[in-house]
Amino acid sequence: AQKITQTQPGMFVQEKEAVTLDCTYDTSDQSYGLFWYKQPSSGEMIFLIYQGSYDEQNATEGRYSLNFQKARKSANLVISASQLGDSAMYFCAMREGGLMFSGGYNKLIFGAGTRLAVHP
């Protein structure tokens, strides 16, 4: 079953406007973590923001914020005041469960990504 769903293969936004990139997830665990990564055309993966399932406040990092709606199992990324340099692929990811019986943590799985194009 698909754990992470990003329904928007591509998005366009005008420079200086805000944009929301959608992400829904599927888990039966109460404890999990949600991540967003950016991948520019250069190919590097850049960590943007993290939200823990028990965090009561939505995470924010500069122009990035995560709109976390636990009951709806959604973790949308909001980019405010878009810049041309924001044009990239954006991936939502999830790590299920807290500490496992084995003493370790679960793996991080990624969605299919959304390609964002910022127009001047």
Partner 1 sequence: GAGVSQSPSNKVTEKGKDVELRCDPISGHTALYWYRQSLGQGLEFLIYFQGNSAPDKSGLPSDRFSAERTGGSVSTLTIQRTQQEDSAVYLCASSLTGEAGELFFGEGSRLTVL
- Which residues are at the interface with partner 1 (CB under 8 A)? 31-33, 35, 37, 43-45, 47, 50, 52, 91, 95, 98-99, 102-105, 107-113
**Which DSSP string corresponds to 2-60?**
-SEE---SEEEEETTS-EEE--EE----SSEEEEEEEE-TT---EEEEEEETT-SSPPE
Closer by beta carbon to partner 1, 102 or else 120: 102
Closer by beta carbon to partner 1, 16 or else 65: 65
For the bound state, the minimum distance from the C-beta of residue 88 to partner 1, rounded and expressed in Å, comes to: 13
Closer by beta carbon to partner 1, 17 or else 29: 29
CA distance 55 to 43: 31
